[in-house]
Amino acid sequence: MALPMQRCWARLRAVTLPWPAAGYHARPRIWGLDTIYKPDPNDPNTKDWHKGPAYEAKLYGRFGSASGVSPESLWPSPEQLQALEDEEKEWQPSLREMQERLEAKDRELEKTQRERERLIAANMAKMPKMVEEWRRAKKEAKQKARDEKARKERLLALAREKFGIHVDFRSPKFQEMVKELEKEERKKMKALKKQQREEERAAMAAVLNAIPTPTKPASPATDSKA
């Protein structure tokens, strides 16, 4: 079993490779790990990431005092330290600050919930009145629709009496008749309202006349003369 597999592998390598190759693996080249590479910052060919305190801190962290870097120079300045403290306070608050923020958020949520419950209670208290107004408006709309339907039927009956069975609602004669009837109805309503006002005034006058007028008491001087 092993011999046919070896033959197959040899033929496959002969087909894929133009010449025989040996299974050779070279050792990786090790660059100077024992030496310290510290570029000149004044050299224009020096890369930006080879300059500055970040690279010096990297050298000091790898080689220690052998790097020639002074650890005092790596310590942040008072301004940088203040900036770091401010950033830490903003992004890494203390436990007490986080608790206060959570408590304030809970209070705000409770206030919002109470306001919502108060609004719901107020709307529920207004609900019967709103339902009654809705029912009254719906009833008035139905009554208005019925009145309008009755008016149209009455106008249609009058038009048929005047113009015959076949009536064109778009004809000028029919529109003129409608205007005249509406004008007469407004006059009748106006006269009816005037009559009602006059009757109310007459009833009020009758009530006022029925009230007895109080008599004026006699003065003491008149009584002594008597």
Say if 122 falls within a structural domain: no
Report how many domains make up the chain. Answer: 2
Banded pLDDT at 27 (limits 50, 70, 90): low
Say if 127 falls within a structural domain: no
Tell me what the mean pLDDT of segment 128-146 comes to.
90
pLDDT of the residue at 118: 93
| Residue 32: other Cβ atoms inside 10 A | 7
pLDDT of the residue at 102: 93
Say if 212 falls within a structural domain: no
Residue entry with tokens 């003491």: 220
Say if 6 falls within a structural domain: no
Q: What is the DSSP letter of 44?
A: T
Query: What are the pLDDT digits (tens) for 72-88?
Result: 888 888 898 899 888 88
Tell me what the mean pLDDT of segment 192-209 comes to.
81
Say if 97 falls within a structural domain: no
> For residue 178, which of 149, 158, 148, 202 has the smallest C-alpha distance?
158
Say if 62 falls within a structural domain: yes
Say if 186 falls within a structural domain: yes
pLDDT of the residue at 201: 83
Q: What is the DSSP letter of 213?
A: P
Length of the chain: 226
Tell me what the mean pLDDT of segment 172-201 comes to.
80
Helix, strand, coil percentages (3-state) for the chain, rounded to 5, are: 75, 0, 25
Say if 195 falls within a structural domain: yes
pLDDT of the residue at 224: 46
Between these two residues, 177 and 124, which has the higher pLDDT value?
124
pLDDT of the residue at 225: 47
Q: Which domain holds residue 187?
A: 168-207
The reported pTM is 0.33
